[in-house]
Structure formats: C-alpha cells, structure tokens
Amino acid sequence: MISFHLARADNGVIGVDGQLPWHIPADLKRFKAQTLGRAMVMGRKTFESFPAPLPGRRHIVLTRDITWRADGAEVAHTVAEALALAGDDVAVIGGAEVFALFEPDRVELTEVHCSPEGDALVPPFDAWNEVFREEHPAEGDRPGYSFVTLVR
C-alpha cells in the first residue's frame, strides 16, 4: 500500500523555502502517528529540512544525485528502487516532485484553510473518495484546518 501524507493549503501550497508555511501541532502529531514504524519515501530536500532523522521510521530518500549520502537515510535513485527498499507499506511524505512520481492508494491530507505564498505546490486530489473528515477551527494566528482521508 502506498499512502501520501501531507498538509496542503487551499491554493495548493505545501511549502516555502523548504519549510511548512504554518505551524499546526495537531497536524505534526497526526503525521507522527500515521508514519511511526513505517518506511517513508521522500525527496532529498524534504529529508534535509528535518533537524535530524525522525525517530522510529525508515527514511528512504529519492534523489537524482548518485553521490548523495546522509546518516539515517537509505538512498534510492528511482521509484522502483524506493518501492523495493520500502516493501509493502510505504508512506510518501514529499516534496511536490516526489508526490508527482507515485500513484497512491490512500491520501492522508491536512487541508489548511489559508492561501500562503509558496514555492512547492501539489494539485488538488480530484476524483478521490472522501472517507473521513474532521474539521478544526482557526485559533489565534493558526489557520483552520481539516483532517481528510481519501481513497481511490
């Protein structure tokens, strides 16, 4: 099973300068719960945006750079290599270029109800079936958001 895990703003933005354009602790907690103990596939920039590898998860980094290596990362240069390393259960966590390479079975999406400036965008997930939605209102300077699960 291939699942996507991401937070996406109303305008499609998922990042700016290698970072999330918002801070939503509940989204980070949900991400941790959904990825703990799993193989995560990500691009090099996503991996390098972490202060350190995330505990309790495998980090499979998909990169075109054949010389790139990092502590805590398993390196793949093709989607097939990444999937072979990951096995039967893989969480694809970004960035935008990496999402475009995979066909997921499930999308665990946090819809962030704002439209920030950004340089990484993911198109909407049209023609998917929504099987779960949980709404959260804005609080202080944090935008409102929705936890959504989509399946084919």
What is the reported pLDDT for 113?
98
Confidence category of residue 140, pLDDT binned at 50, 70, 90: very high
Percent of all residues in the chain with a pLDDT value above 90, rounded to a whole number: 100
Is residue 78 classed exposed, middle or buried when 0-12, 13-18 and 19+ CB atoms within 10 A define those classes? exposed
Q: Following DSSP, what letter does each residue of 23-73 receive, concatenated?
A: --HHHHHHHHHHHTTSEEEEEHHHHHHSSSPPTTSEEEEE-S-TT---TTE
d(CA 75, CA 42): 10
The string of pLDDT tens digits covering residues 4-62 is 999 999 999 999 999 999 999 999 999 999 999 999 999 999 999 999 999 999 999 99
The whole-number pLDDT of residue 53 equals 97
The set of residues, in sequence order, having a beta carbon less than 8 Å from that of 40 and lying 6+ positions away, is: 54, 57, 58, 59, 60, 90, 91, 92, 93
Query: Is the pTM higher than 0.85?
Result: yes
- Which residue in the block uniquely carries the two structure tokens 């010389």? 67
pLDDT at 19: 93
pLDDT at residue 139, rounded to an integer: 95
